Every structure is written in structure tokens, then in C-alpha cells.
Chains A and B, each alone.
Chain A
Amino acid sequence: MQLTVNGEVCCLEGDDRLTTLLREQGVNDRRVALVVNSRVLSMADAAEYRLCENDRIDILTLAGGG
């Protein structure tokens, strides 16, 4: 299915689990926040979340800032 991940269009084949996408993105055990279609998704909900065609997913973490 076609998704937009961190602003870039990508395809995920054969699996509709968000956890699969995160693994493919290299997130692994890192602490991240997830925004799916402009709503923050808790990590607990992310474990159960099934992706839909054209979902927009943002994966966020912390960086230096003032």
C-alpha cells in the first residue's frame, strides 16, 4: 500500500502493521513519537495499529534546540 512517511511517499508490501513499518524505517527500540494523519498515537496503540492506504505517518524524536 502507498503511505507518506515523514513527508515522503513510500510503499509497504504484504503487511499492514505499523510496527512493521517502524522496523523497516530503522526505529527498532528507539523512543519515538508517532503522528498518524495529524493525530498523536501512543506507543501502546501503535502496537495494534493497522495501516490504511494513503495514511500519513510522521516519526519524531528529539534534537538540539533552545
Chain B
Amino acid sequence: MTLYRTMDRTTSRRRLLAGGLAALGTTLAMPHVARGAGQKVVVVGGGYGGATAARYLRQLDPTLEVTLVERDWQLITCPFSNYVIAGTVEIAEITHGYEKLAAGSVTVVHEEAIGVDPAARAVRLAGGTSLAYDRLLLSPGIDLNYEGMPGYSEEAAEVMPHAWKAGAQTLLLRRQLEAMPDGGTVIMVAPANPFRCPPGPYERAGMIGYYLKSNKPKSKMIIFDPKESFSKQALFLRSYETLYPGIVQWVGGGSGGKVERVDPKAMTIEAGFGTEKGDVINVIPPQRAGKVAQLAGVTDEKGWCPIDPASMESRKVPGIHVIGDACIAGAMPKSATAANSQAKNAAAAMVALLKGQPVPEPSFANTCYSLVAPGYGFSVTGIYGATPEGIKEIAGGVSPLDASPQSRDQEATYAVDWYRGMAADAWG
């Protein structure tokens, strides 16, 4: 069940006044005054970051009124979507609703946030109403920057899918692979840093390799990459050589892998060495923070959101916290686990700030599993702390290159456990 709680401009201004008085109360060391007001937190974005934050905000302070704004009724996760492309997981298995969140103590509003008014402390919704907030948390994920790849566009993505936001694009890429004749060439255009899910393109290439080897063994999967190095590189390259020799191939920036232009009509890409034709072409374009972050004025000139590393509060607009792929999180990658960890630390910081208390010392973590075949998994993990210069890694690393098959199988099992734990932590 979903309850709407929106308010008009007049009410929102009245709230602003009340908020001002409450803030005065906290400076006079009377936090109970502020708490009695039933302070409002709005969370925009119902992915791993936003949904987790909404749940923990209420857990940490049950007096808070927490509203989650998410346009879509269902969330299809990017984690595990590469397995849907390869046909080993069905899309229903990675689709999550908001019923449990809405049945709990979080108000879920399925509307699009189309603007933020930081002075009035209000989020504008597409339906014409506004939501007032005492603190706002943005977890908007990414926007695809189609113009960043010449020849590519939203229309071109119907021919050359990006599949970098899970859903229809994921299924389109899967259908294209299924329709391709044996002996075909699959091309992936990998992005330059930074981008969502640093190991994602390479996991995808491995899983497509798995599909091809199982179904169309005369085919090829070629990754064209502007970079010379990437996440878990040695592990991925070893797995391609071991599992998919002659099928999966990586062409790095030093070997002419940087793609200058794509042509969806001719189904070609132009790279340093010339033109290459593909039967299926997966273009992962450059990215930037999700649109609402741009609208709220919390992005920098490169399109990402600078934040205070302890509280995740925007460096550009006070009262707005930004987590997940959209924010600049120092050593942390743009991953689901990173967003989950940032969500919990941001929630604790917001609760403290609303009570006029100091921000607690955060502890961040990341874990990303990659599978390149069923039963063949490896991981990267890290724990991180806040420093004045940004978020720094304290410890971490990747799976050993020479791990046993048993260990790879164990990590594949852990990946599924991780997926289930993450989903439960976010959507209940």
C-alpha cells in the first residue's frame, strides 16, 4: 500500500518557519523541541542507496517522517543483470517492489522528482505538488551521457543497447544475443572512468563468453576499451584465457581500443585502428550523476557530486546529502554495496544533525562479486574511513589470482547470498 503525503506551497512555507524555530531550539541545547516537531526527511531515488537509507533513517530515529520518492513501481537491479543477459537468471528474480517498505514506516511516493528548492527546503514533484524537508537525501544513480559517444543517442540504444540501466535494455541485449547466428561478432564499447560498476563491463563480457561458448562457439566477444587498466583486471583476463580462449578478447587503449564513433545504421564502430562491424554492439556510454542532482545544483563541472566524506552532505548545497553512484566518494567505487554503506552512514549523520549532535565517525565498506560463469566467482572488497581529504581505503583487495576452483565456486555461492542480503537490507 502506498500513501501519498504531498503538500502545497503554503504549507511548505509554514513548515520552513517551523523548521527554523526547531533549528533555533537545537542551538539552545533543547533537542527535544526539535524532535517533537516530527522532522521530515525526503529521500529521492529507490535504488540500493535510497531504499536502504529510508529504512535505516526510520530505524535510527522512529520519530522521523521519512518519504521515499521513486518514479517506478518496481526496481530491476543492475547487480545480476549480466546473468539475465547470459540467460542464467530471469529478470523476475532481480525485480523488487516497494510494498514492504511502504507497509512499514516509510511513505513511498511514486512520482518523479523534477526539482529541488533548497531555499524553501522542498522537492518538486511531476504531479505539481511539493514535499517539504528538514534534510534531503539524493540517491539518484546515474544519467547516461549519450552525447559523450559520437553517433550514439537514446534512439541508437534501441539498436545498440547500453543495458547499463537494468530492465528493457537488459532484455533487448539478451534477445539480440539469442537472435545472432553462430559465428557472429559481439562488440562491447567500454567507458572511460568514472562509471557505474567498475567491474561490470568485464563481468558482462565473461558472461556473454559463457553464453557464446555454450550456444554459439564459433562466435566472438570483443571489448574495445579506452583504458589500459580496469577493476580486477588480472582476474578477468585470466578467466577469459582459461574459460573462453578464442572467444573473449580485450583491446585496451594502448592497442587502439578507444572508440571514437559508433554507427547504428551500419552496425559499426570506429576505433584507432579502423572500423569494425558487429552483429551485436553493446555501447556503455559516459555517465554523470542522475538528473535530479543536476537540477538540485549539487553537481560539479564534470557532472558528479562533491560531498563531505563524514556526513555525505553536499559541498555545494547545505541540507542535501548525496550517496551512491552520483557522489564523489574518493576511493570507493560506484557500486551497490558502496551505496548501501553510504546510505547507513548518511542516515546516521542526518539523524545526528537533525538532533543538533555531532556527526558520528563513519565506517564504509564495499564488496563486489563478479561471476564469469556459473560457479566461477571472484571479488573485490574494502573498508574505508573518512579523512579531511576524502574517503580513503583502510584495507581490502581482490581474490587471489591462483585461487582454487573450490574457492571460485565458494565465491559464486557467496555472490548469491550477498545479492539476497543486499535486497533484504534495501527493500525489506
Chains A and B belong together in one complex: no
